[in-house]
Amino acid sequence: MKPAAMDEASLEAVIVQQMVEVGWTQGVASDFNPSYALDLKHLAAFLLDTQPAVAEAVGLGEDWESDSPARTKFLAKLQGEVTKHGVVHVLRHGFGHGAVPHIDFYYPRPTQGNTMAAARHDANRWVVTRQVHYSAVDTGRSLDLVAFVNGLAVATFEVKNSITKQTVADAIAQYQVHRDPRELLLAPRRCMAHFAVDDKRVRFCAELAGPKSWFLPFDKGYQDGAGNPPNTDGLMTDYLWRQILAPSSLADIIEGFAQVTTTKDAKTGRKSQKTIFPRYHQLDVVRQLLADISENGVGRRYLIQHSAGSGKSNSIAWLAQQLIEAKHDGSNAIDSVLVVTDRRVLDGQIKETIKSFTQVGSTVAHAEHSSDLKNAIEAGKRIIITTVQKFPYIVGSLGAEHRNRKFAVIIDEAHSSQTGKAAAALSGSLSAEGAQGEEESAEDMLLRMVEQKKLPANASYFAFTATPKNKTLELFGDAVPGEVGKRPFHSYTMKQAIQEGFILDVLQGYVPVESYYKLVKTVEDDPEFDAAKASKKLRAYVEGHETAIRKKAEIMVDHFHAQVIGKHKIGGKARAMVVTKTIARAIDYYEAIRDYLVERGSPYKAIVAFSDFERDGKRVTEADYNGFSGKEIPDRIQEDPYRILVVADKYQTGYDEPLLHTMYVDKPLSSVLAVQTLSRLNRARPGKTDTAVLDFANTADEIRAAFEPYYRTTVLAGETDPDKLHDLQGALARVGVYTDEDVDRFVALFLDENVDRSQLDPILDHCAVEYAEQLDEDEQIEFKSQAKAFVRTYSFLSLVLPFSNVGWEKLSIFLGLLIPKLPAPKETDLSAGILETIDMDSYRIEKREEVAIALADAEGQLEPVPTGGGGHGIDPELERLSEILNQFNDLFGNINWDDADRIRDRITTEIPEKVLADQDYANARANNDADNAKLALTAALAKVMQGMLRDETQLFKQFVDNPDFKSWLTDAVFRSTYDKKAA
C-alpha cells in the first residue's frame, strides 16, 4: 500500500480540493496572462454570460483569445484602473470604456427576495489556480496558488508544510526575497492580500514591498494568545479556505471590508494610498455583532475588549458602516449610528476612517453641538460622530420625534464615563418609553425616572475598550450560563497582541529606580506630629526639591544618550517620554532636562506638554517654553532635534506614537492608569524590537498588579449585590436622622413643579440638625459614608437591575440632597508646620537591575462594584519629630505619598462656594462620573485661585509653586463639592 503524500504539493492539492467543495472552481495555469495579471478565459466568460454586448465591444467575445486592437485597448484600460484605484474598487464600481457607458466586473450579494440580483451574483466566477507563472520576464517563477474573481486576481498564496521542515516563516521570506513587487500581479493594490500559509499558522500582507513587506497574523488565537486551536476535523489552518475565503464570505470582505484608503500629508500635501485587509479578529467581531443585531434587533449591550494594537479604529469604522445596512425582521435594524470617542485625538481619526470606508460620504456627519445631532438626524445622516465630552448635552436635546427611532451607540474606550449619570442621561434621551403623558402623578413620575435609567429598548450599545473597569463589565458585559459574573462579548487580548507582534511587551525592560536621602532637624525642640501625614509631606518635599529633580533629570538624559541613542534604538529614531504628576513638576523637569542637554552638548531638545497653567502669578502656555503651539507637539516630536517629551496627564492616554521607546516615570500609577500610561510605548513599527521603562515612583510588584487583570480576557468575579441596598437602607433608617415620612413628604414636594425651595429646605435642615446634635463624630462619619454609598450604588444598579424599586428611588433623591447639608466633622492637622522644622542633608539615586515582569497566564478578574460605605475616623499617631524623621528616612524613602500642607479657613468656605458657582463644573457633576467631573473641577479651581491673587498672595503662591499643596487642595475641594447637587 502506498503511503499518503505529506509534502507541500499534497497540501496545495488539499487546499484546492476543499475550496472547490465550498464553491470555487479549479482553474488552469495556462489561462493566466502575466502581461495583464488576469485569467483572461474566466474574465471573458463572465462578460459573455452577464454582458454579452459589452464582451463583444471590448474584444472579449467568442474570439476572446484573438489579440485584437479592441481587446488590447480594453485590457490596457482595465490594467490602468486597477493600478490607480485597486482591484476592490474595480470589482465594486466597474467603469466605462469608450462607447460602453459602464462595465460590471462583479455582482454583489442580493438583498432578501431579489431574485434578479441573486441570479447575477450566482454568475460570479470564483476560480483558484495552482502553480501560476506570474512573470512575463522570468517565466520560470510561479506562485503556489492564486485566487481570481471573474478573472481578476484577488489573493496569492505561498504554501509551506511543517512536516517537510518549512513553515510560514519560509513563505514570508519567499515573498520578501524572491517575489519582486514590481511584477504586475504583485504590485500595490493589484490583489487584496498575499497569504503565507502552513498547516499551523496564517499570515498576510496587504501590499508587498520586498524585504520591508509586513506580514500580519491571520490566526484565530488560542488560549487568549497567538496561534490556532487544534482542529479535530482537519488542518489547523483550514478555516482560511473553508470559511474566510468561501465565496459568500469573500464576497462580504470585498463589499464591506477590503479597501484602498488615500491619506494626505498635512505638511507636504502629498497623497499616499494604502491597501487595507481585515485581520481575523476584526472580521470576527464585526460579523458576530452584526449577526446578533440581525437576529435580535436593538436593545442589547456589547463589551468588546480589544487590546492596543488591535486596529480598533478600523473595527469601529467597519461596524458603523455595516450597521446602517443591517436588517432585522425585513427592515433596517438601525436608523442612526452614533460614534462616541472618549479620546479627542481619535475623534478626527475615526471620522476620516469611517468616511474612507463609507461609499456615500454624505451619510457621515459630525456633531459639535446639540443642534448638530438634531439636524444630522433630520437630514438623514446615518453615521454621526461626537465626543463623550459633548455627548450628554447632545443627547439631551433629542426631541420626542426621535424617540421611536432605532440607534446604535458605538463607544470608543468605554470607561466609567459611560456609566451612572451620563448613561442615564443618554438612556432617557433615546428611550421611546420616556415620553411624558399629559397627566402624571408623583408615583408615575418616579416609575418613569426609574425606567429612564434603563438602557432603552430602541438603542444598542457597543463599548470598545482594552481595559474594562468593573462598572463597565457589569453594565456592558455578558452573563454566561454556568458562570458567576460577566465577561466581554468579544476579546482580543494583550497577550495575543504581544505574541502576534502588534504591540511590544512594555514590562520586559522595566527598571525601578530608588531614591535615598537624609533629612535633618533645623529646630532645637522635638515637637510631636502625626506620623503618617508627616511622612507624606516629607516625601513630597524631597521629591519636589530642585536637587532631586536635577539628579533625576541627569539620570534620564544620560540613560537616553547611552542606552537609547547609543544603541541605535528604532534605527536611531527613538523618542522618550517623561511622566510627571503635576504641571509644575513637568515644567521643573523640562527646565532641568533642557539645561542639562545644553551642558552636555547634546544635539537634542525636549518638549513640555501641559494644559494652560498659572506660574508665579502669570498664565503660561506650552508655546512659552517650546516656541510653538501645543497643536504642533505630535508632529514636532517626530522631527529632530526634539527627542524627549515631558508630560503631565496630557498624552498619557490615547496617544499613539510608534517612535516612543523609553519612558521615565515619576508619578504614582495604579490600575487602569498604569496600563494606559506604560502602553504609550507598545506601538510596533519596523525596527522597533524592545522598550524601556525607568520608574522612580512605583515598584515592579505594583505595576504587575495593575497589568495582570488585563493580560488575558477580563471577567467580573461577581455582580453587585442589590441586597446590599436593603442593608444600607436599614442601617441608615435605624440611626434616626430622618423618618420614612420625611422622605415621602420631601420627594412628593420635590417632584411638584409648583413647589419652591422654601418648602424643601426646612425638611433637610431639620434632618441635618438631628445629624449634628444626636450623633458623635464616628457616627456622623459612618452615616454620611453609608448615605453616599447608597446614592452611588443605586445610581449604578438602577441601570442593570431587571426590576424597579420606588422606595430606593425616593431615598436616593432624598439622600442626594441631604448629604450636602451635613456638616463635615472637624479635623485637626497634627502634621502642620513640619516642613519648617527640617532640611535636606543628602540625596542619591540608585538604579536597580532591569526586571522582566511576568504576568500570570490566567483570565484577569475584577471584583464587582463595592456597596459599603467604608467611612471611619482615623486616630492620628503622634510621634516626636526626630522619630518621624528617622522612620521616614529609614522606611518611607522609596514610597511616593500624595498629600501636602493643609490650608486654612478659606478652603472650607469661600473656595468651594466659588467653585460650585462655575457652570462647567456644575454640568460635569450633573452628567459625568467622578473622573470626568474632576477634570472640570481642576479648571474651575484654577480660575478661582487666580481671582484670589491680590487678597491671598501667600495662598495663591502655595497653589502655584507647591505641586503637592495643589494636589491636596484639588482633592479636598473636590471631595467637599462633588456630591452637591448641580444647579
362 burial type by CB count under 10 A (0-12 exposed, 13-18 middle, 19+ buried): exposed
**Residue of 679 and 887 predicted with greater confidence:** 679
* Among candidate residues 345, 464, 451, 448, the one with its CA nearest the CA of residue 409: 464
| Phi–psi pair at 366, nearest 5 degrees | -125, 125
Give me the count of residues in the chain.
983
Task: For residue range 369-407, list pLDDT tens digits in order.
Answer: 767 877 887 787 888 888 766 665 555 554 445 667 888
Would the pLDDT of 897 be above 50? no
- Three cell numbers written together for 356: 474612507
Percent of the chain with pLDDT over 70: 74
Would the pLDDT of 798 be above 70? no
Residues facing residue 120 across a β-bridge: none
* Among candidate residues 477, 464, 202, the one with its CA nearest the CA of residue 307: 464
Please state the rounded mean pLDDT for residues 873-899: 40
Would the pLDDT of 550 be above 80? yes
801-822 burial, b for 16+ CB within 10 Å, e for fewer?
A: beeebeebbbbbbbbbbbbeeb
Q: How far apart are the first and last CA of the chain?
A: 88
Grid coordinates 493566466 are at which residue? 32
Would the pLDDT of 782 be above 70? yes
Which range, 36-45, 647-656, 907-916, is most confident?
36-45
**Residue of 114 and 156 predicted with greater confidence:** 156
Would the pLDDT of 686 be above 90? no
Please state the rounded mean pLDDT for residues 865-879: 51
Grid coordinates 517623561 are at which residue? 578
491-521 burial, b for 16+ CB within 10 Å, e for fewer?
A: bbbbbbbbbbebbbbbbbbbbbbebebbbee
Which range, 89-93, 796-800, 803-807, is most confident?
89-93
pLDDT of residue 479: 82
Would the pLDDT of 104 be above 80? yes
Task: For residue range 270-296, list pLDDT tens digits in order.
Answer: 888 889 999 999 999 999 999 999 999
CATH tag, 278-492: 3.40.50.300
Q: Residue 628 in 3-state DSSP? A: coil
pLDDT of residue 353: 63
Least confident of 27-36, 355-364, 575-584, 735-744: 355-364
With contact defined as beta carbons under 8 Å apart, do 312 and 464 qualify? yes
Does 510-521+534-716 match 278-492 at the fold level?
yes
H/E run at residue 430:
helix 420-430
Task: For residue range 125-154, list pLDDT tens digits in order.
Answer: 999 999 999 998 888 899 999 999 999 999
Task: For residue range 302-327, list pLDDT tens digits in order.
Answer: 989 998 888 888 899 899 989 988 99
- Three cell numbers written together for 406: 432605532
The pTM is what?
0.76
**CA–CA distances in Å: residue 893 to residues 266, 551, 553:** 48, 16, 19
CA–CA separation, 543 and 561 (whole Å):
24
CA–CA separation, 624 and 761 (whole Å):
49
Mean pLDDT, the chain, integer: 80
Task: For residue range 178-200, list pLDDT tens digits in order.
Answer: 999 999 999 999 999 999 999 99
Question: Would the CA dihedral through 671, 672, 675, 677 be positive or negative?
Answer: negative
pLDDT of residue 924: 74
Would the pLDDT of 22 be above 90? yes
Residue 823: CB atoms within 10 Å: 11
The domain ranges of the chain are 8-256, 278-492, 510-521+534-716, 900-983
Least confident of 353-357, 599-603, 649-653: 353-357
Question: Would the CA dihedral through 918, 919, 924, 926 be positive or negative?
Answer: positive
**CA–CA distances in Å: residue 163 to residues 5, 11, 80, 218, 479:** 11, 11, 42, 21, 43
Grid coordinates 496630557 are at which residue? 650
pLDDT of residue 218: 95
Residue 329 CA, chain-centre distance (Å), reads: 33
**Residue of 365 and 175 predicted with greater confidence:** 175
Least confident of 587-601, 835-849, 912-926: 835-849
Would the pLDDT of 485 be above 60? yes
Quick one: pLDDT band at residue 90, thresholds 50, 70, 90? very high
Could you say which architecture CATH assigns to the domain 510-521+534-716?
3-Layer(aba) Sandwich (3.40)
CA–CA separation, 325 and 111 (whole Å):
10
Please state the rounded mean pLDDT for residues 517-527: 51
Quick one: pLDDT band at residue 412, thresholds 50, 70, 90? confident
Which range, 94-108, 353-367, 455-469, is most confident?
94-108
Helices (H), 688-836: 700-707, 723-735, 740-750, 757-774, 777-797, 806-818
Please state the rounded mean pLDDT for residues 227-247: 94
Quick one: pLDDT band at residue 641, thresholds 50, 70, 90? very high
pLDDT of residue 221: 92
Quick one: pLDDT band at residue 575, thresholds 50, 70, 90? very high
Would the pLDDT of 414 be above 60? no
